[in-house]
Structure 1
């Protein structure tokens, strides 16, 4: 059992002069069968137990036995504490630092970047991006990368043959005919005109009241193309048009059309999108608490937030005290354990549903090196695959290594996705396929993905209420749930939020 004592403590020996007069942190691990209980009261945890504990040289021990946990405390008081070091959290931290603010980032993994991940092949040294693969050709993207010394280039068009297979049988679907480029361009034009009726959708979820009924219905145009493009959205045919427009907006269409002229989407010159976050980590330095989780959050004060952080690989608890907390993680209740949520916050965050999105690199698939395969189902409307299912299996820059993208209408166990992908690869009857004994090199979950709420909630003013939380209880929010699952557009959203954050 672990007990945490957050209390101005009296130190003995040289430890007394080593600590500043702010809240020191004592973490106690009670082993064996001894019973203890801790009661959190604001920033103080009252500890009642029978064993006598000795505090010396910044360590806690039980009756002079082996040291248990180190005594730690925050050396400075940051202006902002950011929960989550993904796309939105890292951007917020860098930009607030640019504005002269003191920041601390609490990140559960060992590196920043969230869904922006890069695999390095141990044999060739080649790098392959997965998760976030491309960026929009926007000025905010170019400026952000330039500020962190990461060069961008236009992403080249893949010179790969695309085939459409029915993964339920493993056979080529000869009846499936993808949209011709000329037809797509014509469809894009009508789609953009439709999006233009709702300009507020491009900037966030600043919806009027009442919400236009067109945004609540299911999409009616470009469905075939969208089903192949918008991976991770679950069953697109059951999604309100609002979420489709958020996921596939005017900026994406602009970049798609620009690819015909050799421009369009951007990627790093070194084919390493994670370089952006490695450089950001170097700038933020010791202000990052990696491998760390939130134990508790206390926002009861009108001018201060207290956050108890557990850094697991060091067995250390730290109390952060700051003016403002920025929540950048998906606001699912499972993610917010330990946060002092109000009833209203609980009622809002509890409505979010999410989809499942997964990706993995696989070797020994037996597939030829010049083919990418999409999953289609000839027995469904628009030939869309029934989820959970593998969306596609694509070639990478490393010969013999393919990437599989898998989707589900909700979170599923990793084992389920892995099993289905390997089964699909074995079953595919592709001309020129060699011996197939597929195995994962790496598998990752991007879940919870694409947070949505029911249509009735949208119509009932959910997003107006959600946005009303900004700035309350010394808390601001950013991330995909507040706009869309798109890093480039999230940076725009966060940048627009910064004046309110810093003014607060």
Structure 2
């Protein structure tokens, strides 16, 4: 990654665009709230419900047609069975249980997704990977992880940053004799891009104690009826008109003092609207493209422009044509540690509906739904020709799809060495704006926990 210092030239361009955008809100309805929340995913929904419970008025701006972010649920049209094809589970802790209870969702025990008998196959040629299995991380990995407690629930780094954390993961494993954990660590879920290029810092931040408690100890809860999206539907029903779906901020003004507040021009299906709020909570991925409409100053641009998110997609496939007593996972036949080739399908996992699978797809660049599904279909047709018992005449169908791009924004070793994460934390509250998305932690339960810790500061700022 080569960050670009955009500075004042960016501000000039953004200001010019803002003039055109403001025309969309001329004479528009004005919505006045204590807190404006951008993004209705895990963090945004949690913030909205809990701020409202604490007596604050809120409005949520969500660009999609539903709340939930990375949580995606498809309902089988014949049986009505819910099939989650994004987030699969939540960590069992008091924050998660309380949030379930608050939204009248019955928590039940969960487990890592059922994979039936796994088949490991090179999806580029259909050849099986023999004598291969995925072990749990070793005690040596846990010992290494616990050396860096500041990566468990954020990225609050010491100064100077330990240089070993800025090694790539292969370099770190080699230096600290952790190569026996290569397969376990390269198999961590929902990690976009080239796994061999990840810094050790991000491996420990992602494959942290929370995820390991889920994976190894089974500290998992799910909706007892299997529908993880019900949490967000219930939240939407309660928040009602305080949520603007299919809506985007096209221009924003943010003051430097708490009394200045924020003013946002938002396009909605019902036309432009003004939002005037005391504080802004930004929960969408904190990358430059998402923050462009908010009139960033030079300081903000020079921090946010250091980060880029990955390209990741999920979907549902029916009429699969492959034996349904297996899961199918992509692994490289001739790559080190059998790491899968990118771009490509990560895996096909079975669901509670016979013959219906969900899949995840990893890429190096942005792709359209048509591109992802075309490549996924080609992969399935290849597997139909190479897996015993497959039906080569079956034509796959794709009833559901979601882009999770940009996923888990990260930055370079040089930027981390220079103190970029200290600068990120210093942005909390700056220009009446707070950040609670996946810039610092990866999972829904950790997002809820981090948001919960930040709420008192947001409330205090709104009362100045």
Q: TM-score, normalised by structure 1?
A: 0.81
Give the Cα separation in 2 of the matches to 1:197 and 1:142.
29
Identify the residue that residue 435 of structure 2 maps to in structure 1: 477
The residue matched to 1:338 in structure 2 has which SS? Answer: helix
Give the Cα separation in 2 of the matches to 1:248 and 1:388.
22
The residue matched to 1:79 in structure 2 has which SS? Answer: strand
The structure whose residues are more often strand, as a share, is: 1
Tell me: CA distance 1:245–1:40, structure 2 relative to 1, closer, same or farther (3 Å).
closer
Identify the residue that residue 445 of structure 2 maps to in structure 1: 488
Are 1:101 and 2:59 counterparts?
no
The residue matched to 1:253 in structure 2 has which SS? Answer: helix
Tell me: CA distance 1:153–1:91, structure 2 relative to 1, closer, same or farther (3 Å).
same
What's the offset of the Cα at 1:40?
6.5
Give the Cα separation in 1 of the matches to 2:108 and 2:279.
37
Tell me: CA distance 1:70–1:464, structure 2 relative to 1, closer, same or farther (3 Å).
closer
What's the offset of the Cα at 1:355?
1.2
Are 1:459 and 2:417 counterparts?
yes
Give the Cα separation in 2 of the matches to 1:456 and 1:409.
21
Q: Which of 202, 212, 216 is residue 257 of structure 1 equivalent to? A: 216
Identify the residue that residue 139 of structure 2 maps to in structure 1: 189
The residue matched to 2:185 in structure 1 has which SS? Answer: helix
RCO greater where, 1 or 2, for CA within 8 Å and sep 6 or more? 2
Are 1:238 and 2:193 counterparts?
no
Identify the residue that residue 460 of structure 2 maps to in structure 1: 503
The residue matched to 1:294 in structure 2 has which SS? Answer: strand
Count of aligned residue pairs for this structure pair: 431
Q: Which of 171, 182, 188 is residue 223 of structure 1 equivalent to? A: 182
Q: Which runs of 5 or more residues in structure 2 are unaligned?
A: 1-15
Contact 2:84 2:227 in 1 (8 A): yes
Identify the residue that residue 23 of structure 1 maps to in structure 2: none
Contact 1:371 1:395 in 2 (8 A): yes
Tell me: CA distance 1:501–1:383, structure 2 relative to 1, closer, same or farther (3 Å).
same
Contact 2:25 2:273 in 1 (8 A): no
Contact 1:425 1:436 in 2 (8 A): no
Are 1:112 and 2:56 counterparts?
no
Give the Cα separation in 2 of the matches to 1:70 and 1:282.
30
Give the Cα separation in 1 of the matches to 2:441 and 2:222.
20
C-alpha distance after superposition, 1:278-312 (max 9, x if no partner): 1111221111111111021111363221111110x
The residue matched to 1:451 in structure 2 has which SS? Answer: strand
Contact 2:314 2:401 in 1 (8 A): yes
C-alpha distance after superposition, 1:357-409 (max 9, x if no partner): 11111112211111101111121111001211111111111112111211013
Are 1:173 and 2:129 counterparts?
yes
Are 1:163 and 2:122 counterparts?
no
Q: How does 1:45-444 map to 2 (within 5 A)?
A: 72-74=28-30, 77-156=32-111, 158=114, 160-174=116-130, 176-180=131-135, 184=136, 187-219=137-169, 220=173, 221=178, 222-259=181-218, 264-300=219-255, 302=257, 303=259, 304-311=261-268, 313-314=269-270, 316-428=271-383, 429-434=386-391, 435-444=393-402
Tell me: CA distance 1:371–1:39, structure 2 relative to 1, closer, same or farther (3 Å).
closer
Identify the residue that residue 5 of structure 2 maps to in structure 1: none
Give the Cα separation in 2 of the matches to 1:232 and 1:288.
30
Contact 1:211 1:459 in 2 (8 A): yes
What's the offset of the Cα at 1:159?
6.4
Q: How does 1:7-22 map to 2 (within 5 A)?
A: none
C-alpha distance after superposition, 1:313-350 (max 9, x if no partner): 22x11111111011111122221232110011111111
Give the Cα separation in 1 of the matches to 2:319 and 2:18.
53
Contact 2:60 2:242 in 1 (8 A): yes
C-alpha distance after superposition, 1:449-483 (max 9, x if no partner): 121001111111010011111111111111001x1
Contact 1:115 1:446 in 2 (8 A): yes
Q: Which runs of 5 or more residues in structure 1 are unaligned?
A: 1-37, 48-67
Give the Cα separation in 1 of the matches to 2:25 and 2:435.
33
What's the offset of the Cα at 1:446?
0.7
Contact 1:358 1:445 in 2 (8 A): yes
What's the offset of the Cα at 1:70?
10
Give the Cα separation in 1 of the matches to 2:372 and 2:187.
19
Tell me: CA distance 1:357–1:399, structure 2 relative to 1, closer, same or farther (3 Å).
same
Contact 1:137 1:266 in 2 (8 A): yes
Give the Cα separation in 2 of the matches to 1:492 and 1:141.
8
Identify the residue that residue 17 of structure 1 maps to in structure 2: none
Tell me: CA distance 1:378–1:171, structure 2 relative to 1, closer, same or farther (3 Å).
closer
Give the Cα separation in 2 of the matches to 1:333 and 1:131.
24
What's the offset of the Cα at 1:194?
1.3
Contact 1:135 1:265 in 2 (8 A): yes
C-alpha distance after superposition, 1:74-101 (max 9, x if no partner): 35x2110001111111111111111111
Give the Cα separation in 1 of the matches to 2:220 and 2:241.
33
What's the offset of the Cα at 1:156?
4.4
Give the Cα separation in 1 of the matches to 2:252 and 2:127.
53
The residue matched to 1:361 in structure 2 has which SS? Answer: strand
Deviates more, 1:376-385 or 1:225-234: 225-234
Q: TM-score, normalised by structure 2?
A: 0.88
Contact 2:40 2:67 in 1 (8 A): yes
When Rg is computed on C-alpha atoms for both structures, the one with the higher figure is 1
